[in-house]
Structure 1
Amino acid sequence: MCRGSLTSSLHDRILFNEVRGLLSEFYALLKANDEAIRFLFITGITKFNKASIFSELNNMVDISLNPQFGSLLGYTHEEVENYFDSYLSRASTALNLSKEDLLTRLTKQYDGFCFEVTANQKVFSPWSLLNFFAAPGLGFCDYWFESGGRPSVLLEYVKSHTIRDPKEYGREKTISLASLSGSSDVESLSDIGLLTQEGYLTIKAVEYGNTVFLDYPNLEIKRAMAQLYTELLLKGKVAGQVGAGDIVRVLNNDDPEEVFHILNRLFTAIDYQNYPVVDETSVRAFIQVYLAGAGLDPKVERHNAHGRSDLEVNVGTRLWVFELKTAHEGKSAEAALQEAIDQLTSRRYGEQDAVGKLERVALVFSLTERRFVRWATVSET
């Protein structure tokens, strides 16, 4: 009850207050018997206002964000190497990777969580890492999301907050140290704070004494977050339910026309209420979210010597480079398409990479029709 009841009832104020009352009674009982308790450790997700909950248990020591306990909730890189050596050897054999390459992949996939204010100590997710070691032959699967990374409280809470906007997915996020470390009440709890406490965001740096810079800890969480955005935009559905679930296969095997059609199936399925796709940036953001949620690692605004591309993604031996434009009042679809083609040609996007096949695609999204209306490919120059 102490761990999740309050956060599980955030969307129901009556239930929230009932649970808060029960917890206050429970804490009062603990304090009344403190002479019989040698050690008490309480965990949770969100700290709620002490005046309303913890006034009955005001002799606690809060170790949240304390560097001394920064590695308490995960495995450090050194611990993985020291205590899981035999498992690393087994995984190396199963995946035909050197131990060095294996650790690099594991770090990118499951490491990066930080729970202390110096931002120096990073830890692996125990759940994900242990599941990987249990069946390394399956590869670098995503375990966190389906095992509790998608709590109902978060889904309910973020429906009315900024997470609904796909542009928020790739933006830098900050929160004050006071807001992150202090107590909240249900009315003042921020979406950024909740995402950090739930594990979707983690501490990357603390600067200027009170500004905490946040980001996704690893690829597993980045993809989990993208899936959450996609489900919210599609009103609880997943991409496969709207005919857009095989994008990895399409990008790996099919031609640009099929990409055009599968993207249209996706955008047509976005819930019309508070429609979030309103400009070129949000078109790109939703494609980024969609590709990330499918297990890919899309890059936005990737630089070369001539400029920066809108969006790039590697799939197998193919590199896809997308230049996105919008058709709207005052700008025709044909004019937007030609502009995208000219940019792909003159700025030579993707040519700096050694890839098996370079696919450069110009796409035009109509803001009035809410769908892609033009596409074209550009050959290497």
Structure 2
Amino acid sequence: SIFSELNNLQNISMSDDYSAICGITEQELLSQMQPDIERIAQANNETYEEACRHLKRQYDGYHFSKICEDIYNPFSLFNAFSQRDYKSFWFSTGTPTFLIEMLQRMDFSLTLLEKMEVKDEDFDKATEVITDPIPVLYQSGYLTIKGYEPLFRTYTLGYPNEEVKIGFIETLIPSYLNQPTRESNFYVVSFVRDLMKGDIEQCLLRTRSFFSSIPYDLENNQEKHYQTIFYLLFRLMGQYVDVEVKNAIGRADVVIKMPDAIYVFEFKVDGTPEEALAQINSKQYAIPYEVEHRKVVKVGVNFDSTTRTLGQWKIEYS
């Protein structure tokens, strides 16, 4: 072949020796950028340690090989230091619309992005004819390596950090809901405020209103589509409070942790709230949280596929 010499090139894309070449390691951050950390901490009324944790949660988390230090996104990190604010800078560079169209066209379950297992060969699939969104999402930085299992030679992928996770979800919302991200964010903030006041009834009424506001002319009215909307909604809440969204068997659909209470939600499509509560109790979804010395509130909710919004619900305090 006239290109035979190219076969001798060494691909270093996933080499441990080069895994930190394109970012900022934590050691580099703490040893070389201490004055910057001190300034952003002072600007946000934080301690030095709090600022370090904030930066890590927002911009850290990239891994490009089996054994790789945590890598910070340099573009976002330097912008945060320059503006002394923890904004989502990476998404100001733009999100290709073909990514969103690809996810919708392939009917890909967004919940899988939290914990996706892949093999070595999955990283280098040809992009001329895309049949799997995972390689593209990895190569474009929306997913990164979160773990490696030597026995099966499998990698676990996930969002690198909060900046990417929240920014990506906010980008997806207009396409899945046919409404501006601003309106969805308004609902999310209101949900969280309701829960902070312990007003679960108002939170559920607001959720019903939220789903009622989604246009009826959406092409996809399947149950999976509404599960995706639930996922997007509660994941957006995660930027304000601790939220766990189901991505494995044996867990409640949603768990929201507030300072004084933990809310365990189970949703049933065209079922009854009693059935949902019975599942919470029979599967013991709330047991892990009862040792945290906060009141546990179990919420069983029926989702009515005919009206495409919440039907009845039932609340149980313990």
TM bucket, shorter chain: 0.7 to 0.9
Q: Structure 1: give runs of 5+ residues left out of the alignment.
A: 1-50
Residues 51-108 of structure 1: CA distance to partner in whole angstroms, max 9, x if unpaired? 9xx9699486543222222112210001101110111222333344443343233222
Aligned ranges for residues 22-33 of structure 1 at < 5 Å?
A: none
Amino acid at match of 2:142: Y
Count residues with an aligned counterpart. Answer: 310
Q: Which residue of 2 aligns with 1:159?
A: 104
CA distance in 2, matches of 1:212, 1:345: 31
- Does the C-alpha gap of structure 1 residues 90 and 160 become closer, same or farther in structure 2, counting only changes over 3 Å? same
Q: State whether structure 2 residue 231 is matched by structure 1 residue 267.
A: no
Is this contact kept in 2: 1:323–1:344, CA < 8 A? no
Q: SS of the residue aligned with 2:291?
A: coil
CA distance in 2, matches of 1:89, 1:114: 26
Is this contact kept in 1: 2:273–2:300, CA < 8 A? no
Q: State whether structure 2 residue 275 is matched by structure 1 residue 336.
A: yes
- Does the C-alpha gap of structure 1 residues 141 and 353 become closer, same or farther in structure 2, counting only changes over 3 Å? farther
Amino acid at match of 1:321: Y
- Does the C-alpha gap of structure 1 residues 204 and 373 become closer, same or farther in structure 2, counting only changes over 3 Å? same
CA distance in 2, matches of 1:244, 1:302: 23
Which residue of the other structure, out of 27, 37, 44, is the alignment partner of 1:78? 27
Is this contact kept in 2: 1:224–1:293, CA < 8 A? no
Is this contact kept in 2: 1:322–1:363, CA < 8 A? no
Aligned ranges for residues 1-381 of structure 1 at < 5 Å?
A: 58=6, 62-115=11-64, 117-136=65-84, 138=85, 140-148=86-94, 150-163=95-108, 165-170=109-114, 172-180=115-123, 182=124, 184-188=126-130, 190-206=132-148, 207-208=150-151, 210-235=153-178, 237-238=180-181, 240=183, 244-246=187-189, 247-253=191-197, 255-268=199-212, 269=214, 272-278=218-224, 283=227, 286-294=229-237, 295-296=239-240, 297-300=242-245, 308-315=251-258, 317-328=259-270, 331=271, 333=272, 335-336=274-275, 339=278, 347=286, 350-355=289-294, 359-380=297-318
Residues 337-360 of structure 1: CA distance to partner in whole angstroms, max 9, x if unpaired? 6636866999567433245x7654
CA RMSD of aligned residues (A): 3.7
With normalisation by structure 2, the TM-score equals: 0.79
Is this contact kept in 2: 1:227–1:290, CA < 8 A? no
Q: SS of the residue aligned with 1:141?
A: coil
Percent identity between the aligned chains? Answer: 21
CA distance in 2, matches of 1:210, 1:358: 40
With normalisation by structure 1, the TM-score equals: 0.68
Q: SS of the residue aligned with 1:362?
A: strand
Question: Which is further off, 257-266 or 57-66?
Answer: 57-66
CA distance in 2, matches of 1:320, 1:239: 27
Residues 221-274 of structure 1: CA distance to partner in whole angstroms, max 9, x if unpaired? 222233244333214642616973533333334722222132223334176423
- Does the C-alpha gap of structure 1 residues 61 and 226 become closer, same or farther in structure 2, counting only changes over 3 Å? same
- Does the C-alpha gap of structure 1 residues 311 and 348 become closer, same or farther in structure 2, counting only changes over 3 Å? same
Is this contact kept in 2: 1:87–1:133, CA < 8 A? yes
Q: SS of the residue aligned with 1:134?
A: helix
Is this contact kept in 1: 2:61–2:161, CA < 8 A? yes
Deviation at 1:203, TM superposition (A): 1.1
CA distance in 2, matches of 1:242, 1:102: 25
- Does the C-alpha gap of structure 1 residues 278 and 250 become closer, same or farther in structure 2, counting only changes over 3 Å? same
- Does the C-alpha gap of structure 1 residues 185 and 376 become closer, same or farther in structure 2, counting only changes over 3 Å? closer
CA distance in 2, matches of 1:200, 1:113: 10
CA distance in 1, matches of 2:209, 2:293: 32
Amino acid at match of 1:326: K
More strand by share: 2
Greater C-alpha Rg: 1
- Does the C-alpha gap of structure 1 residues 201 and 90 become closer, same or farther in structure 2, counting only changes over 3 Å? same
Amino acid at match of 1:194: V
Residues 264-308 of structure 1: CA distance to partner in whole angstroms, max 9, x if unpaired? 2333417642334249xx64x6434212224244113599xxx85
Amino acid at match of 1:156: E
Is this contact kept in 1: 2:12–2:18, CA < 8 A? yes
Is this contact kept in 1: 2:111–2:247, CA < 8 A? no
Deviation at 1:178, TM superposition (A): 1.8
Deviation at 1:183, TM superposition (A): 5.2
